[in-house]
């Protein structure tokens, strides 16, 4: 087997090179440092993204009213403190882009795949530390380009995070479709390169560098999730890259892939024969799998954390893997549910309704398995556990409305309304964010050698949980009332005057929810230096990362890498004194291993 082929070559890896400040902290090739770099960069982008959402929420709640905060933060885009309509769309667009790609793809998957894959499978590092470093720095570069795009004079990209042409292709259609969109596309192209390098590395590492005894069916579910996520990424991201490249061609070199028969601002453009619907297909061929790229790693983290803190094996380990595989497969054939009313053939709509509702089945299996996991457990209510339970809760609430949106007949009337905004924030945005927080609270000691303050963690969770429902639950109602999303104000529709008070309530919850993240940021950054020192295995977990020394060393373990003798969920196994048996503990005489 290839699983332990290279343990030898790597054994004394750590003791060779001298580390300088630059190779240790900046151009580090160590997966643990790279994980932290991803996390901090993702956090900074997250702060930007959340502040943006608060700004446009304030505009929606108190439309066209002067606000000193707008004046201070938006400058020329808020003449006399009144937010401009163009910048509203730009804020929505960049908020969506940052949250989906920079926070919940790179920040979440980048952090935890890097941290956990080598540590949990028993490897010295990623298959290629160098590519891993390049991957992070490309991500950093793309973040920088995205942030720079906020400052171009005609405004940042403002065509929605889906950047459908022709709006995104024609600078005369919208200010943000000039330099702002160019930078958006450049940033995303770099981002995709980064993501592909990362994904390939994760796949190769999981397949080749598992320690002795770590068969695929002994892997923690985290690793399964990261592995399959990487596979989905490798399949779907190149399609977005090609869409972006074709769009760049249309924009700058006069091709007509997505454009045809356009008359704008008094002139006919030369484009002929292209189709915006083609772009939608290409975009959503990534766009839908993307939501699973965001959610699967969170699911993996939550499965692991729930088992550990329930002191119980994850329920239905094999069903969990099977459902990850089923979701991964189905996720590549459901993209058309975003396009029921795009003008594509209605027969295709039928097909996509069918495949979309199918994907509800593995999702339901996962939800029931998590609930059964905590049943008759001995639940340790650490902040990570709370966020995991919160994850299941919002995943259910948000996921259920998917059966409405996935049903083409029903989508006709709620497509592109706030109902959609409510749905995807709960099922993908908030859930994945909870997964990420859960992961941070759980593995913080592994990253920084110190503990986060749990009481601040409790405050953070409970206030966030209440606000998340307070923000997104009412949105279902205004969405079903027919209120379109991406509207700068609703005041031109007296018809919607009766939703305005709902919008105020939503915004107040959003502001509180946003503010409480300061508690989290404080906890995160202060604990790096002043947190209480951690013990070796604070959560009494079975997985290998807790056997490595607290102080990070290059190569992860001194001496030999531990061997693995059992799966990763031997919690409360009868016949043992402790309520957990780490994976590197050999089977007792006569002890049966479960399931393999």
**Cα–Cα distance for residue pair 100/276, rounded to 1 Å:** 23
Binding mask 530-549 for ligand HEM (x = CB under 6 A): --------------------
- The nearer residue to another protein, 165 or 439, going by C-beta atoms, is 165
From the list another protein, Cu ion, ligand HEM, none, pick the one residue 364 interacts with, judged by a Cβ distance below 5 to 8 Å according to partner type. Answer: another protein
| Contacts of residue 528, Cβ cutoff 8 Å, sequence gap at least 6 | 448, 450
Segment contacting another protein by CB under 8 A, of 45-53, 96-104, 189-197, 341-349: 341-349
Positions 233 through 292 that interact with another protein (CB under 8 A): 259-264, 266, 268, 271-277
DSSP state of 263: E
Determine if 118 is a binding residue for ligand HEM (CB under 6 A): no
From Cu ion, ligand HEM, another protein, none, interface partner of 104 (C-beta below 5 to 8 A by class)? ligand HEM
One character per residue 166-205, x = contact with another protein (rule: CB under 8 A):
xx--x--xxx------------------------------
Task: Determine the 3-state secondary structure of 571 from DSSP.
Answer: strand
Q: Are the CB atoms for 195 and 138 separated by under 8 Å?
A: no
| Secondary structure class of 449 (helix, strand, coil) | coil
Contact partner at residue 494 from Cu ion, ligand HEM, another protein, none, CB < 5 to 8 Å by partner kind? another protein
Subset of 452-491 contacting another protein (CB under 8 A):
452-456, 458, 462, 465-466, 469-470, 473-474, 477-478, 480-482, 484, 486-490
25 binds, options Cu ion, another protein, ligand HEM, none, Cβ within 5 to 8 A by partner type: none
Instruction: Tell whether omega for the bond before 142 is within 30 degrees of 0, i.e. cis.
Output: no
Question: How far, in Å, CA of 404 to CA of 420, rounded?
Answer: 10
Residue closer to another protein by CB (options 17, 318) is: 318
Q: State how far the Cα of 146 lies from the Cα of 51, in Å rounded to an integer.
A: 16
DSSP structural state of residue 450: B
CA 311-315-320 angle, to 5 degrees, is 130
Task: Show the tokens assigned to 85.
Answer: 């309509």
CB-based contact 172:116 (threshold 8 Å): no
* Start-to-end CA span in the chain (Å): 17
Q: Of 507 and 542, which has the nearer Cβ to ligand HEM?
A: 507
* 172 alpha-carbon distance from chain centroid: 33
Site for Cu ion in 259-288 (CB under 5 A): 288
Is the CB of 6 or the CB of 86 nearer to ligand HEM?
Answer: 86
The verdict on 485 binding ligand HEM (CB under 6 A) reads yes
Between 100 and 339, whose beta carbon lies closer to ligand HEM? 100
* Separation between Cα atoms, residue 444 and residue 449, nearest integer Å: 7
Q: Which of residues 286-305 bind Cu ion (CB under 5 A)?
A: 288
* Count of residues that bind ligand HEM according to CB under 6 A: 24
**What is the contact mask toward ligand HEM in residues 331 to 370, using x (rule: CB under 6 A)?**
----------------------------------------
Question: How far is Cα 479 from Cα 481, in angstroms, rounded to an integer?
Answer: 5
Q: How far is it, in rounded angstroms, from Cα 453 to Cα 458? A: 9
Q: Which has the closest alpha carbon to 552: 118, 7, 10, 74?
A: 118
Which window, 24-32, 130-138, 281-289, 362-370, contacts another protein (CB under 8 A)? Answer: 362-370
Query: CB 165 → Cu ion: shortest distance, Å?
Result: 14
- 415 counts as binding another protein under rule CB under 8 A: yes
Q: Which residues make Cβ contacts (< 8 Å) with residue 137, sequence separation at least 6?
A: 27
Cβ neighbours of residue 156 under 8 Å, at least 6 residues apart?
90, 93, 94, 149, 150, 176, 180, 183, 184
Contact partners, residue 492, CB within 8 Å, separation at least 6: none
Restricting to residues 498-527, which ones interact with ligand HEM according to CB under 6 A? Answer: 510, 513-514
* Residues 444-483 contacting ligand HEM, CB under 6 A: 471
Touching another protein, residues 119-158 (CB under 8 A): none
Q: Is 44 in the site for another protein (CB under 8 A)?
A: no
> Please, is 530 exposed, middle or buried when counting C-beta atoms within 10 Å of its C-beta (0-12, 13-18, 19+)?
exposed
Binding-site string for ligand HEM from residue 238 to residue 277, where x marks contact by CB under 6 A and - marks none: ----------------------------------------
Give which of ligand HEM, Cu ion, another protein, none residue 71 binds (C-beta under 5 to 8 Å, depending on kind). another protein
Q: Which residues, 554 to 593, sit near another protein by CB under 8 A?
A: 569, 571-574, 579
Q: Does 376 contact another protein by CB under 8 A? A: yes
Q: Does 95 bind ligand HEM (CB under 6 A)?
A: yes
Tokens at 389, concatenated: 């339970």
Length of the chain: 596
Strand locations in 213-353 (E): 263-264, 267-268
Report if residue 87 touches ligand HEM, rule: CB under 6 A: no
For residue 167, how many other CB atoms are within 10 A of its CB?
Answer: 18
Q: What DSSP state is assigned to residue 106?
A: I
Of the CA atoms within 13 Å of residue 162, those in its CB half-sphere come to 18
Strand ranges (E), 408-473 = none
CB of 331 to Cu ion, least distance (A): 8
User: Could you give the string, one character per residue 18-57, with x where binding to ligand HEM holds by CB under 6 A and - elsewhere?
Assistant: --------------------------------x--x---x
What is the binding site for ligand HEM (CB under 6 A)? 50, 53, 57, 92-93, 95-96, 99-100, 104, 160-161, 421, 425, 428-429, 433, 471, 485-487, 510, 513-514
What is the binding site for Cu ion (CB under 5 A)? 288
């Amino acid at each position: 087997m290839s699983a332990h082929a290279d343990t030898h070559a790597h054994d004394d890896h750590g003791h060779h090179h001298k580390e300088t400040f630059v190779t240790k902290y900046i151009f580090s090739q160590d997966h643990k440092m790279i994980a932290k770099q991803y996390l901090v960069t993702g956090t900074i982008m997250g702060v930007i993204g959340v502040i943006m959402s608060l700004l446009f929420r304030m505009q929606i709640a108190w439309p066209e009213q002067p606000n000193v905060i707008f004046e201070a933060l938006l400058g020329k885009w808020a003449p006399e403190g009144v937010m401009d309509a163009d910048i509203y769309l730009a804020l929505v667009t960049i908020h969506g882009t940052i949250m989906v790609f920079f926070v919940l793809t790179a920040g979440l998957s980048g952090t935890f795949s890097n941290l956990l894959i080598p540590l949990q499978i028993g490897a010295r590092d990623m298959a290629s530390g160098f590519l891993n470093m390049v991957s992070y720095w490309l991500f950093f570069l793309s973040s920088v380009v995205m942030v720079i795009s906020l400052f171009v004079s005609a405004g940042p990209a403002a065509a929605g995070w889906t950047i459908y042409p022709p709006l995104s292709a024609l600078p005369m259609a919208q200010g943000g479709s000039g330099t702002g969109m160019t930078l958006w596309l450049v940033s995303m192209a770099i981002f995709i390169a980064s993501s592909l390098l990362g994904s390939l590395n994760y796949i190769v590492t999981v397949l080749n560098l598992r320690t002795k005894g770590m068969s695929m069916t002994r892997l923690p579910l985290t690793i399964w999730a990261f592995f399959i996520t990487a596979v989905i990424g490798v399949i779907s991201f190149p399609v977005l890259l090609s869409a972006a490249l074709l769009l760049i061609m249309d924009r700058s070199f006069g091709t007509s892939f997505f454009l045809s028969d356009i008359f704008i601002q008094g002139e006919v453009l030369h484009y002929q024969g292209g189709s915006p619907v083609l772009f939608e297909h290409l975009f959503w061929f990534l766009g839908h799998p993307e939501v699973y790229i965001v959610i699967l790693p969170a699911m993996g983290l939550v499965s692991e954390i729930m088992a550990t803190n329930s002191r119980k094996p994850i329920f239905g380990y094999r069903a969990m893997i099977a459902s990850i595989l089923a979701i991964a497969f189905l996720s590549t054939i459901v993209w058309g549910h975003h396009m029921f009313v795009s003008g594509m053939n209605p027969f295709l709509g039928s097909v996509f309704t069918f495949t979309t509702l199918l994907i509800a089945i593995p999702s339901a299996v996962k939800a029931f398995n998590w609930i059964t996991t905590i049943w008759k457990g001995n639940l340790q209510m650490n902040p990570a556990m709370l966020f995991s339970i919160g994850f299941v809760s919002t995943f259910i609430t948000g996921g259920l409305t998917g059966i409405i949106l996935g049903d083409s007949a029903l989508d006709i009337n709620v497509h592109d309304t706030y109902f959609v905004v409510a749905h995807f924030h709960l099922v993908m945005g908030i859930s994945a964010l909870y997964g990420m927080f859960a992961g941070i609270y759980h593995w913080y000691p592994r990253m920084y050698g110190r503990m986060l303050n749990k009481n601040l963690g409790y405050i953070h969770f409970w206030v966030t949980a209440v606000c998340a429902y307070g923000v997104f639950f009412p949105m279902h109602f205004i969405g079903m009332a027919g209120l379109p999303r991406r509207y700068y104000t609703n005041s031109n529709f007296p018809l919607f005057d009766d939703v305005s008070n709902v919008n105020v309530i939503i915004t107040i919850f959003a502001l509180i929810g946003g503010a409480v993240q300061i508690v989290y940021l404080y906890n995160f950054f202060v604990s790096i230096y002043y947190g209480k020192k951690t013990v070796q295995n604070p959560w009494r977990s079975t997985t290998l990362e807790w056997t490595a020394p607290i102080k990070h060393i290059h190569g992860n373990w001194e001496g030999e890498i531990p061997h693995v003798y059992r799966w990763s969920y031997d919690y409360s196994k009868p016949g043992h004194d402790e309520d957990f048996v780490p994976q590197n503990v050999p089977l007792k005489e006569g002890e049966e291993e479960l399931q393999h």
